[in-house]
Amino acid sequence: VRTDVIPRNTRQRTVILETVRTLGNHPSADEVFEAVRHKLPRVSLSTVYRNLEFLANSGLIRKLEMGGLPVRFDSTVSPHFHIRCISCNRIDDLRGRRVVVVEDARDFDHDYEVLGYQVEFIGLCSNCRAESSPHHEPSAC
């Protein structure tokens, strides 16, 4: 990890950050790419990948690696949990009145130094619930 690099504010970097913020809904690299293209038609996919990685490392966005899906990005960096629709893979923030608590694992019987945990909720979003039978069969949505 290089720390001696002095980052530069390129137009691409700025637009990519803006795009993640305005898209809002946890876009993948490819979705960011398609959206950025409207403002910067000559942008390349690798530039998008490199900048999303850079912005995540800088703490300006958050990288979400959830259940076998392509990586997604979140413009909300403050701590919160996510819920994923089992049917359409839509991802939403989980902001609620009650706090999700995971008891820490420091006394568990293993030889790890525990640094943290990730929680991902699984559910059925309202769109998919409307389209699916009462038996909750998977549906396209």
Partner DNA sequence: GTAATTGCAAAAATTTTGCAGCATT
Partner DNA sequence: AATGCTGCAAAATTTTTGCAATTAC
Stretches 1-9, 78-86, 102-110, 122-130: which one binds DNA (CB under 7 A)? 1-9
Picked from DNA, its own copies, none, the partner binding residue 34 (CB below 5 to 8 A depending on kind) is none
Subset of 37-66 contacting DNA (CB under 7 A): 40, 42-47, 49-51, 53-54
The binder of 44, among DNA, its own copies, none, by C-beta within 5 to 8 A per type, is DNA
∠ CA 9-18-90, rounded to 5°? 135
A 10 A CB-CB count for 52 gives 24
- Cα–chain center distance at 128: 21
In degrees, rounded to 5, the angle at the alpha carbon of residue 20 between the alpha carbons of residues 18 and 25 is 140
Q: Which residues contact 63 (CB under 8 A, 6 or more apart)?
A: 52, 53, 56, 71, 72, 73, 74
From its own copies, DNA, none, interface partner of 130 (C-beta below 5 to 8 A by class): none
Q: How far is the CB of 78 from its own copies (least distance, A)?
A: 16
Q: Which residue's CB is nearer to DNA, number 49 or number 81?
A: 49
